[in-house]
Amino acid sequence: MNKSPLTWLRTTNSFWAKALIGAVGGALAGLAYPRFDLWYLTYLGLPLVLISLHRLGLFRSLWVGTIAGTAFYCIQLTWISLYLGPIPLIALSIMEGLFFGLGAVGISLAWRFIDQRNLGRRAAFLTAAIIATIWVGREYLSGHFPFSGFPWARIGVSQADTPLANLVYWVDIAGLSWLIVYVCSLLTLRFISAPPSGAGLAKRVANYAPVLACGLALYLAAVATVIPVGAQSGTMNIAAAQGNANAGLFAINPPGSILLKHLAVSRKLLATAKVPIDVMVWPENASDLDPISMPRVHQVLNSFVKNELKGTLIFGTKTIRDNKLYNEVVEWTPAGGAVDWYDKKIPVPFGEYVPNRSFFMSLAPSLIGMIVWDMSPGTRDGIFETPKGKLGSLICFEVVFDELSADLVDGGAEALLVQTNNSDFGHSDETFQQVAVSRLRAIETGRSVVAVSTVGVSAIYRPDGTTQKMLPVFKPGAMVDSVALRTSKTPAMIFGRYIEIVSFFAALLLVLISAIAITARKFKKH
């Protein structure tokens, strides 16, 4: 008798069929992120990945998980190929796919362990919770190792444009990932244990009732969440300038041209602004000449801030200090000049520096040779004190690292700045994925976020993640608005920030217990 497609999907044990199911699931999940914005594919892609892992042994789950993860990252990170071609995209996708595969091994072991316990109706809920914990633990691992990690493509970010984003206020991005994977796991388990062919419609619907109840509860909790956006410590008129400059790592521009473009749009805004500007923010690399070491540039900026802006300027540049190169943000005031600075704490590996340069040079000399300098990590905090309040700065990809935004809130930041340079990635999805994280950071921290890019997306987000003001992409422009300053901590900042690290250690313990129990069971049988 020929099996129906759903029956085949539910029961196949073929390795190649499992690999295909996992690859399709990973690819569909990758399409859930901006700018595809097919967020609902998360709830199809993740179950397919989990179905592909059902009843798999150690090595087969590693292979199938790696294939699924590689497909996921290849789709989600296509923008990387615009920068250095397909090789970095493939290499990064395979490396992250291997982490995916390790997580798949853990899920398969724990799943088999629970199946052997004969726990009855409780089994599905416990299994779903364990799968979600291992998944989030795997996200923590890949987000911190190697070379500071790559926490870019977490499942929670796929829901940035849905009402579920409100839940980040309570449980952080990692907590939202856990909840989504829990629902998808429960859906998978219900699909696998569907009533036999011929069962009535009522019985089939009842099988999915727990999934529908959990999904509805999450949605209602998200919709019912009212995130406070009002000012607690006053407001600040913050301006953001987008020079529309080709400030890519390997771009060739006349010296000073990027600085001049940001000066031009800033002066245009000053000529028309109807409110005094307390702080003006320029993006990462907005000054392509170092104003600290170059007297002429120092003079130009000092004159602009003192005589035209008459307020604080916070801008990105590169500078050499103690024979080390830094990606830096500088605070410049009318009275004191350069009074404070922040050096990027987590430079991008293979973009801003090359770890183990001699080893990787031997593997890909033409690619590694393009990165002729290594940026050093900074050690100073990203807090800038201004007359109106404290601002916290994140430089470019630093926005995806949870601990950095949490440190800024702990340090007293009343609003956040995300200063980035997206020039290398053209009109790709990268800038839209990054700004989705910026919006989630606003919700998570309960702070207004001013995201400013050399080319866009540049926007001001309220503490609930809604857009207060935005500039058109790939056009020179500037904007100013009154930004609410807040001091209270969200639940995410109080306890939600620890969900990911707790999940990691819990996942290690669960996998260890499962492995020992399964091994002991095998020995007992023999």
| Residue 272 CA: distances (Å) to CA of 83, 266, 277, 298 | 37, 10, 12, 26
Whether the pLDDT of residue 441 is over 70: the answer is: yes
Q: What is the largest CA-CA distance in the chain?
A: 86
Residue 320, classed as helix, strand or coil, is strand
User: What residue ranges define each of the domains in the chain, with the CATH number in brackets?
Assistant: 5-227+497-525 (no CATH), 236-481 (3.60.110.10)
Q: What is the pLDDT of residues 164-175, one digit of tens each?
A: 999 999 999 999
**Closest listed residue to residue 179, CA positions, set 166, 194, 193, 192:** 166
Give me the pLDDT at residue 3, please: 73
**For residue 113, what are the contacts with CB-CB under 8 A and spacing of at least 6?**
513, 514, 517, 518
Please name the helix (run of DSSP H) or strand (run of DSSP E) that holds residue 209, with its range, or none. helix 209-224
Confidence of residue 213 (pLDDT cuts 50, 70, 90): very high
Residue 276, classed as helix, strand or coil, is coil
Give me the pLDDT at residue 526, please: 64
What tokens does 377 get? 């990590």
| Residue 16 CA: distances (Å) to CA of 27, 58, 75, 377 | 16, 16, 21, 44
Give me the pLDDT at residue 167, please: 98
Cβ–Cβ under 8 Å, residues 124 and 189 = yes
Give me the pLDDT at residue 395, please: 98
Confidence of residue 245 (pLDDT cuts 50, 70, 90): confident
Looking at the DSSP assignment, which residues form a beta bridge with residue 279? 238, 312
Confidence of residue 248 (pLDDT cuts 50, 70, 90): confident
Q: What is the pLDDT of residues 493-506, one digit of tens each?
A: 999 999 999 999 99
Any idea how long the chain is? Answer: 526
Average pLDDT estimate for 450-462: 95
For 155-273, strand residue ranges (E) read: 235-242
- Whole-number average pLDDT of the chain: 93
Confidence of residue 276 (pLDDT cuts 50, 70, 90): very high
Whether the pLDDT of residue 103 is over 80: the answer is: yes
Give me the pLDDT at residue 2, please: 63
Confidence of residue 181 (pLDDT cuts 50, 70, 90): very high
CA distance 275 to 27: 48
Angle of the 86-115 helix axis to the 122-142 helix axis, nearest 10: 150
Using only C-alpha atoms, the chain has a radius of gyration, in whole angstroms, of 25
Average pLDDT estimate for 139-162: 95
Q: What is the pLDDT of residues 415-426, one digit of tens each?
A: 999 999 988 887
Whether the pLDDT of residue 51 is over 90: the answer is: yes
Structure-token match 């699924």, residue found: 68
Average pLDDT estimate for 383-397: 97
pTM: 0.95
